[in-house]
Amino acid sequence: MYSTKKSIPVGVDFLYDDKRVRKSLPEAEQKRNGESKMAKTNGVINSNRTLGKINKEIYGHFSEHLGRCIYEGIFVGEDSEIPNTNGMRNDVVEALKNIKVPVLRWPGGCFADEYHWMDGIGPKEARKCMINTHWGGVVEDNSFGTHEFFELCDQLGCEPYINGNVGSGTVREMSEWIEYMTFDGESPMAKLREENGRKEPWKVKYFGVGNENWGCGGNMTPEFYGNMYRRYQTYCRNYGDNKLYKICCGPNADDFDWTDKVMSLITDQFADAISMHYYTVPGSWEEKGHALGFDEKRYYETIEATLRIEPMIERHLDIMSKYDPEHKVKLIVDEWGTWFDVEEGTNPGFLYQQNTMRDAMVAALNLNIFNRHCDRISMANIAQVVNVLQSVILTEGDKMIKTPTYYVYEMYKDHQEAQLVDCYLDCPEVTCEGFDIPLVSSSASVNEEGKMTITLANPHLTESLTVSAQILGNYNNCEATILTGKMDDHNDFENPDTVQLAAFDGASLNDGTLSVEMPAMSIVKVTLA
């Protein structure tokens, strides 16, 4: 929530002069006679003031050779009894197309820096097997490789985002992979591609030079990686009309020193964007808590933890601005989401976890944040698309379910490629189980047809909220959709529809004022036309 006003009204939550300003509702306004009182927030949403385009890639996804994400989750092979097209599960593809997946990152993650692409081309029976040392120590047969990934992207209608191997790979290996994928003409790699059944080159826009090179991608210092990046990206050539959008490995969470030192070594001459990873982890990495069966304190701890991403983003952007005052180098949050303890009885290296309304709320809060920073954030990729961490889809054999997080993406998809507009709301904040929680998160956009999409999230477990906003613009019709439930409500294979979208009659537009009666623990999408 942004404002250019010099005065700061009581209760407002917005950015001004790069500082977070928050004021809580007085205790008397929160409670009356020992009973909870419905909170209220007022504001203005100005469709005439645009703040930047929300790139569709902010709604991107991530697929790694990890657990059952690709194998079983997406790719079952052409001979599978599960309905498929060229090996890709039809049910999963159709579900992902419905939420308009704009970009898909592959092959990792940590796996990217031990992946050698030539092992994943040619006849499947002749491809080399390897041990996936990062994720479960299982055998990787490389039956899903470059050609299969582009087949998946073609079916989804999305942009491929390729992550190259810096940690254990060579400059030549990376250079030849790009030639194999994108060169149109006579060359050794183009000839090899044709021999493997593909004459025409693919279009590759997004290319990451390494992954988490501060950790699993080589345990490098920022100075070492920065110079390695300069070297490797030199040989990432643009062939024909294919122009690579080069992505430099950025920081882990609040590692501001990494951003500072890497940015000092790169400019827009060498990089189009720098990545950032942040996982929402309540507790500690050693004891993250379960995806199910958590209490209210752990819920609010999770919400507070996820909201920390915004001040981190702002500080990283400030550092980037020091070296790039024209903001040519963008920020990409290409791994984000919740990370809890794995489900009992599953391989600890597969990172399989259930998905609840808590995860949906985390997704809504983060996507609103990314929307509001769309002038600097060009992409975000939730981890991961199927069966791993905060997935939008879970599969079990031939069964498939959509998670609560999936429905957030379905609600928010109309933001893609729309113009962010000024959304100014008071933001009451309450203390819950020792954690400061804002009662509303929001973002608003207007598409080319003039339709406005407003997304609101109330993360409080018991406090309902009345939103009253003056709408500046010519709108007459109001429709709304809601996602709500108890904090641990989830969909499973016995009850796949416990959490789902519903039409919402608690939103109305009268004389230019939008009124939304938001229940506790709810996410609401309002469409104005």
Return the active site residues: 212, 335
List the one residue out of 277, 283, 279, 313 whose CA is nearest residue 300: 283
Question: 3-class SS at 311?
Answer: helix
Task: Supply the angle between the helices 222-234 and 256-263 in degrees, to the nearest 10.
Answer: 40
Q: Where are the alpha helices (DSSP H) in 196-335?
A: 222-234, 256-263, 296-307, 309-323
Q: Which residues pair with 518 in a beta bridge?
A: 465
List the one residue out of 306, 385, 379, 366 whose CA is nearest residue 340: 306
Are 136 and 350 in contact by the 8 Å Cβ rule? The answer is yes
CA distances from 34 to 29, 37, 369, 517 (A): 11, 9, 34, 22
Cβ neighbourhood burial of 129 (10 Å; 0-12, 13-18, 19+): exposed
The token pair that represents 148 in the structure block: 């299969």
Q: How does 429-448 read in b/e, with b if 16+ C-beta sit within 10 Å?
A: bbebeebebbbbbbbbbbee
- C-alpha 114/C-alpha 168 separation (Å) is 6
The token pair that represents 181 in the structure block: 């994928």
Within 10 angstroms of residue 123's Cβ, the number of other Cβ atoms is 8
Are 443 and 356 in contact by the 8 Å Cβ rule? The answer is no
